[in-house]
A and B are shown apart, each in its own frame.
Chain A
Amino acid sequence: QKEVEQNSGPLSVPEGAIASLNCTYSDRGSQSFFWYRQYSGKSPELIMFIYSNGDKEDGRFTAQLNKASQYVSLLIRDSQPSDSATYLCAVNPYQLTFGKGTKLSVIP
């Protein structure tokens, strides 16, 4: 059974700090990895995706992938209160399998 595990949090970081969100997955055949942000009462919105081992940067966001360890992470630099949301990790060997999400709280 395909599983995607995330620490549910809440993860609290001070404004301006780096927030680190982690995700592990069970299916070694997974090829693409997505991070979605979901504000309370809203739908998930795509932040970024990563396919290859290593880092991928987009503005304040960096996704890191290590397929050997079956681990993907999202770093948010210079965290802002507006980053407070639940972050969903999704993994795609065929159809997306989502984790339960990590709730991030950025404290002003």
Chain B
Amino acid sequence: ETGVTQTPRHLVMGMTNKKSLKCEQHLGHNAMYWYKQSAKKPLELMFVYNFKEQTENNSVPSRFSPECPNSSHLFLHLHTLQPEDSALYLCASSQDGGTLSTDTQYFGPGTRLTVL
């Protein structure tokens, strides 16, 4: 595996389900990110982890719960989601977590989530 991988690629869930999204980066980076991309809206940063520590939480509802066990793996746990949470969820990684202005983010393929 190379780059940033995400599983599953597609997910359909009911509002009462609990599911998890997984992201793994093979780039030796120290920071990982979750973004939400909805139609006709810009990419929305959800969470940032730098050296396994959460450094950003952009007022994300508690029904989204991130977990970062190490610098290579990132999870997004989902529970009691709403239909408006249907979107493409993208994981990204970078070397320095934004502490350097030259820090560059690389994205995984995304998980297309549909909440019924």
Contact = CB atoms under 8 A, between A and B. Distances in A.
Interface of A: 4, 31-32, 34, 36, 42-46, 49, 51, 88, 90, 92-101
A8 B104 CA distance: 24
A45 B107 contact: yes
Interface of B: 40-43, 45, 48, 56, 88, 90, 98, 101-110
28 contacts: A4-B42, A32-B101, A32-B102, A34-B105, A42-B109, A43-B90, A43-B108, A43-B110, A44-B43, A44-B90, A45-B107, A49-B102, A51-B101, A88-B43, A90-B43, A92-B98, A92-B101, A92-B103, A93-B101, A94-B98, A95-B56, A96-B45, A96-B98, A97-B42, A98-B42, A98-B43, A100-B40, A100-B41
Contacts of A51: 101-102
Contacts of A49: 102, 104
A104 B20 CA distance: 34
A44 B42 contact: no
B92 to A, nearest CB: 8
Contacts of A95: 45, 48, 56, 98
A31 B101 contact: yes
A18 to B, nearest CB: 26
A96 B101 contact: no
A47 to B, nearest CB: 11
